Amino acid sequence: MKVLKFGGTSVGSPERIEQLLPIIRSQAADKHLVVLSAVSGTTNDLVTLSELYAKKEDKAAQKHIDILYDKYKKFVKELFRTEPGTLEALAFIDNVFQLLYKFDSTNFTTTEERIILAQGEIISTTLFHLHLKEKGISSVLLSALDFMLIDKEGEPDVEYIREHATSEMAKFSDEKLFITQGYICRNAQGEIDNLRRGGSDYTASLLGAALQVEEIQIWTDIDGFHNNDPRYVPNTKPIAHLNFDEAAELSYFGAKILHPQSVFPARKYNVPVRLLDTMNLSASGTLISGETKNLNQIVAIAAKDNITAIRIQSSRMLMAYGFLRKIFEVFEVHKTPIDMITTSEVAVSLTIDQTEFLPEIIKKLESFGTVDIDNEQSIICIVGDFKKNNHGLATIVSEAVKHIPVRMISYGGSENNISLLVPTSYKIEALRSLHNRLF
């Protein structure tokens, strides 16, 4: 069995949905489990709707629903070719939007918000299932709410997913094509919840890992990982193969093709992930597996924006036992992850990309010493084989950016990357300079 995930752009129009079946049939496997995102733009529309209800702007919310409702009625009429198929799809859409119309600002909580956000994937999967039904193609629509579960810490319960997904699919032992929603799940209280943005990739990876499938395929509108950002750097090339660690580094530090969390379930259960392009079926894409093929070389460069650098300087730090622990605890209390960190005898510099609690963090850190903040920074991540017995690669990286003001360097924390912090105004220059020197 293979898991095939299609993103929002891959289901973004009736024409795109019609292209899914040929793609699925081209992937040799005894069974296919198809995971779909919401139609592109829908999740943003549902987020806006939730915000309007939360701000008690009920009239604006109702108008917003009207616009989205009209959009989907048009979508259905373009996708379906027969009167019975069209009527069945419109009846389904009517039910979804009647649910949305029933909400109001009275006692509107995160519970109601999550129910609203779940409708995007419910719509896309049901429309695809009904589209196949109209064509006479047998498929089974599985509700992700029956097997996707997160615990009290928001972490997925892989054993529960394995047991319940297997059980649901076993009810249809003769079927070959299964469809389910990405992103949505239930939480430990049994309520509708979600895996946050990028969650459809995560759903596919979790299901592929739990079911121990042959391969997880992530279909997008890009032909795999590139060795640099093609938006800023000309003549980039797709990467044929990455190991799990290399892919995780690139995903976390800016390569948008794959959600960072998606690598970890596949790596843990050693299930290969293949990134493919719905717009270019002849492209081989990128295969991610446990095998390392890029020995003694630099593989790719990625950049992550909206970084804030924090420097804490204190003479009291010298030889101080527990100082770093106290600093880390500040970020732990405010649930703010740290990207990079460097230390000296009297100072610690680190970076974050979540600034929701920055004022509170700064206030607490100032009790330890002087705190300096640099905003509008970017992390440039160079991924490759930086094992300690390899010589010269770090020197090549440093030479490539010798004319650029580098705020921080992280080297040695991972065998797979060197990270540089530069002002965002120098990001494109750094990407191009590194590309010209390294590739």
Binding residues for substrate: 43, 121
Pairing of the two strands 241-243 and 286-289 = parallel
| Inter-residue long-range contacts of 211-214, CB under 8 Å, 24+ positions, other chains counted | 211/1, 211/3, 211/33, 211/162, 211/165, 211/166, 212/269, 212/271, 213/1, 213/2, 213/3, 213/33, 213/271, 214/1, 214/2, 214/29
3-state secondary structure at position 338: coil
Residue found by looking up tokens 């065998």 in the block: 415
Element (H, E) at 420: strand 417-423
3-state secondary structure at position 4: strand
Q: CA-CA distance, 112 to 129, in Å (whole number)?
A: 26
Q: CA-CA distance, 221 to 124, in Å (whole number)?
A: 17
3-state secondary structure at position 177: strand
Pairing of the two strands 32-36 and 2-6 = parallel
Distance separating the N- and C-terminal Cα atoms of the chain? 37
Which parts are annotated binding residues? 5-8, 43, 121, 220-221, 231
In the chain, count H helices and then E strands.
14, 16
Which parts are annotated binding residues for ATP? 5-8, 220-221, 231
The interaxial angle of helices 110-134 and 42-54, nearest 10 deg, is 150
Give the pair of three-digit tokens for residue 147: 């097997």
Q: CA-CA distance, 32 to 204, in Å (whole number)?
A: 12
Contact 379, 420 (CB under 8 A): yes
Give the pair of three-digit tokens for residue 34: 């198809």
